[in-house]
Chains A and B, each alone.
Chain A
């Protein structure tokens, strides 16, 4: 049994880590972009961001004043049991979101879409979003919080097989150029691309691709991996850098996730995870021990399974 107070305390810590500390994989990617950048304005911006990450860590303050719209990705191993059950789990994540918003503090971004009601704690109807996945083995629970920006850099388009790879490139460029101007996408970014599914699933695939994979990670399908690298190269040759200034720092990495779709369709979504790519994760074990990390390790073979059943390759472990 995983103690619920341990889950809430861990979630609170994760909120702080995400808001304050830029993940190492993104930082390495940005340093490389800064070293390669030749545009004077774009270079200045990247250098200022590198200083900003240091300032945030030193002061233990949020790295960006727009602290995004906090959300949770929860992965539950098959043998895991949470004290109080799923309803207690959700209450703990909502509680940690609210308490961390006050204590760090974060900007309370979440309001009612019509009445603009603001609880000043990033909690409300449908907020924070909590998404779930499962893994065949183990008795742990993985908590990942992502504080992605909530305004610009994301788009969806219904494409068809006849649009082909060129159509994918076209919409990728459209999205980057459109939101890259004036830096609305807060680039250079990790670009997530969703392909297939349905309209809603396509958005989910793309968002997860942007937020739950680390810089340098490649899709296991070699042709998709190749396309990921090709798109990154394409984005960095638009001639645009940080803030939409002349340069070449648009994309730190591109991640593509796919889902089977209607036989006539090829839905596509594009998502930009920004200069403050806020994500933090922890694995909480049955005994209450916790391991923190910045790689969500979301996309296991099980998450991309294609077959009707899942062949268990190892016998399930009992609770540690």
Chain B
């Protein structure tokens, strides 16, 4: 049963000092304090492809970009009702991350499932950024509790609730797990390697399907049979 008590818990600012980032170890459990903003494909395209001005001072206001859409709705009085907050899978955003980290100065990328080892090596490490993964997935209600205020919502009309940039004041916001540290090492990669060792045994006795799938390799000479 549950040896989860052994994981180290860390409280971290959303504008973390380099030395605090350097202390983070794979598998640490992190709770954030400060301000986070959501940004995913809608925001990235708007800023990086359409050339829209950043609507807030980054990384001054926040160095924490959350790959997220909240479950939220505007109230009639202009404030917002926010219930749960969960991440969306980050691997889809590779093409924008290098430019985004340069422009936004983000040091914390928060999301679901991490990114590739190449992304960490080529993009995160040179920018001194780390990746924190949400837990579950997802602990949307616990994360929702950590939001103390919706400070602002940018491009709501343009992008809709799911893709707008939500600026959230947070306190004890978590849990997150350190997936990639300042050296670009990855917890998921480490776990994948361990699990891969046992896979031949569990697959024992099975054969590949009789009918193959065209398009799984780039060799157009492939046949299905």
Which residues in A have some Cβ–Cβ distance to B below 8 Å?
Answer: 19, 34-38, 40-41, 43-49, 51-53, 55-56, 59, 61-67, 101-109, 111, 116, 118, 120, 151-152, 157-160, 162-163, 166-167, 169-171, 173, 177, 181-184, 186, 234, 237-240, 242-246, 274-276
Contact with A along B153-197 (1 / 0, CB 8 A): 000000011110000000000010100000000011001101100
Q: Contact: B160 with A118, CB < 8 Å?
A: yes
CB contacts (< 8 Å) of B17 on chain A: these are none
Q: Contact: B205 with A238, CB < 8 Å?
A: no
B31 to chain A, nearest CB (A): 12
A48-B135, A59-B141, A62-B141 given; A37·B2 CB < 8 A: yes
B152 to chain A, nearest CB (A): 18
CB contacts (< 8 Å) of B89 on chain A: these are 151-152, 184
A78 to chain B, nearest CB (A): 38
Q: Contact: B162 with A105, CB < 8 Å?
A: no
Q: Contact: A104 with B192, CB < 8 Å?
A: no
5 A-B pairs within 8 Å (CB atoms) are namely A61-B140, A66-B86, A66-B88, A162-B210, A245-B191
CB contacts (< 8 Å) of B70 on chain A: these are 65, 107
Q: Contact: A239 with B209, CB < 8 Å?
A: no
CB contacts (< 8 Å) of B203 on chain A: these are 170, 173
Q: Indicate which residue in A63, A157, A169 contacts B141 across the interface (CB closer than 8 Å).
A: A63
A44-B7, A109-B162, A186-B137 given; A160·B210 CB < 8 A: yes
Q: Contact: B7 with A47, CB < 8 Å?
A: no
Residues of chain B in range 69-101 having any CB-CB distance to chain A below 8 Å = 69-73, 81-89
Residue ID in chain A nearest B208 by CB atoms:
A170
* Chain A binder among B54-62, B102-110, B120-128, B142-150: B142-150
Q: Contact: B71 with A62, CB < 8 Å?
A: yes
Q: Contact: B144 with A59, CB < 8 Å?
A: yes
Q: Report how far A151 CA is from B211 CA in the complex, Å.
A: 25
B79 to chain A, nearest CB (A): 13
A238-B195, A243-B137, A244-B192 given; A108·B162 CB < 8 A: yes
Total B residues in contact with A, Cβ cutoff 8 Å: 62
B190 to chain A, nearest CB (A): 9
B158 to chain A, nearest CB (A): 10
Residue ID in chain B nearest A109 by CB atoms:
B162
Closest 3 CB pairs of A and B: A65-B86, A44-B4, A118-B160
Contact with A along B1-38 (1 / 0, CB 8 A): 11110110000000000000000000101000000000
Q: Contact: A107 with B72, CB < 8 Å?
A: yes
Q: Report how far A173 CA is from B198 CA in the complex, Å.
A: 13
CB contacts (< 8 Å) of A242 on chain B: these are 136
Query: Is B207 close to A, CB under 8 A?
Result: yes
Q: Report how far A162 CA is from B133 CA in the complex, Å.
A: 42
Q: Contact: B175 with A166, CB < 8 Å?
A: no
Q: Contact: B210 with A159, CB < 8 Å?
A: yes
Q: Contact: B68 with A182, CB < 8 Å?
A: no
Q: Contact: A184 with B113, CB < 8 Å?
A: yes
Q: Report how far A64 CA is from B85 CA in the complex, Å.
A: 7
Q: Contact: A105 with B72, CB < 8 Å?
A: yes
Q: Contact: B137 with A275, CB < 8 Å?
A: yes
Q: Indicate which residue in A41, A51, A152 contacts B7 across the interface (CB closer than 8 Å).
A: A41
A211 to chain B, nearest CB (A): 18
CB contacts (< 8 Å) of A274 on chain B: these are 137
Q: Report how far A173 CA is from B191 CA in the complex, Å.
A: 18
A44-B7, A237-B202 given; A243·B210 CB < 8 A: no
A48-B142, A55-B145, A166-B207 given; A102·B73 CB < 8 A: yes
* Central interface residue in B89, B144, B187, by most chain A CB within 10 Å: B144
CB contacts (< 8 Å) of B117 on chain A: these are none
CB contacts (< 8 Å) of A151 on chain B: these are 89
Q: Indicate which residue in B29, B71, B187 contacts A107 across the interface (CB closer than 8 Å).
A: B71
A298 to chain B, nearest CB (A): 27
CB contacts (< 8 Å) of A101 on chain B: these are 73
CB contacts (< 8 Å) of A163 on chain B: these are 207, 209-210
CB contacts (< 8 Å) of B140 on chain A: these are 52, 56, 61-66, 276
Q: Contact: A61 with B141, CB < 8 Å?
A: yes
